[in-house]
Amino acid sequence: MRVEGSRLPAAIVRQLPNALTTVRLAAVPLFAALLLSANGAPAPMAAAVFAFAALTDFLDGELSRRLHAQSRYGRLLDPIADRLLIDVAAILLWHEGRVPLALVVILLVRDVLLLGSLVVGPGRGYGVRVNVVGKAGTLVMMMGLLLAIVTPPGSVTANLVLWTGVSLLLLAGVVYARGVIRESRKKRRPNHAARVASK
């Protein structure tokens, strides 16, 4: 019993990254409701929820590394939670005239292509692998969206940060695509060698 008792706190602590990812997912509808209820007026509560959700993205990744608590749940849902938070915020802010439509379209097309690759395309065997450029892009994008929430529509600073974030995320998509192609080629080589040997 003593051994089990000593292991229980560690097991609970190791679930903290997954709990933070779940909290971030749950924060998305709350953020959306608060932003919409403001009807275009300043929405400090929506900004606070968004900032908190963005903070959990940093915290769950840091805890996962420090606690060596990477899990399949976290690897799958962490990037999905990020994309959902960013895409929902971008769409709602475009609706309020705070984010340009072109930026929203680029974000959505990128994420749909990524999701399609994971579900039915070559990325299905490669999995969700977040690269350094993608992490930087996500951070910058979240900062830009937060600025768009708290600054007047058409803010030059917010738009500059947002377009920088989009550029980084597009670059991260290219890095991811190259990884998928490289992995696909590796998998084809043994099959090709086997066919040659059988002839």
pLDDT tens digit sequence for 28-76: 999 999 999 988 888 899 999 999 999 998 887 777 777 776 667 667 7
pLDDT for the residue 30 = 97
Is-contact 166 141, C-beta < 8 A?
yes
Element (H, E) at 56: helix 44-67
Report the alpha-carbon distance of residue 97 to residue 91 in Å, rounded. Answer: 10
- In our burial notation (b when 16+ CB lie closer than 10 A, e otherwise), range 66-104 reads eeebeeeebeebbbbbbbbbbbbbbebbbebebbbeebb
Domain assignment of residue 195, yes or no:
no
Domain assignment of residue 198, yes or no:
no
What CATH number does the domain containing 117 carry? 1.20.120
Tokens describing residue 41: 């007026």
The amino acid that residue 118 corresponds to is L
Domain assignment of residue 94, yes or no:
yes
Residues of the chain with pLDDT under 50: 1-6, 8, 123, 126, 192-193, 196
* Domain total of the chain: 1
Domain assignment of residue 150, yes or no:
yes
Report the alpha-carbon distance of residue 133 to residue 169 in Å, rounded. Answer: 7
Cα atoms in the 13 Å half-sphere on the side-chain side of 143: 14
Q: Which residue range is the domain that position 41 belongs to?
A: 2-186
In sequence order, the 6+-apart residues with CB closer than 8 A to the CB of 76 are 128
Domain assignment of residue 134, yes or no:
yes
pLDDT for the residue 124 = 52
Domain assignment of residue 37, yes or no:
yes
pLDDT for the residue 191 = 54
The amino acid that residue 95 corresponds to is H
Is-contact 153 97, C-beta < 8 A?
yes
Domain assignment of residue 199, yes or no:
no
pLDDT for the residue 6 = 44
Domain assignment of residue 197, yes or no:
no
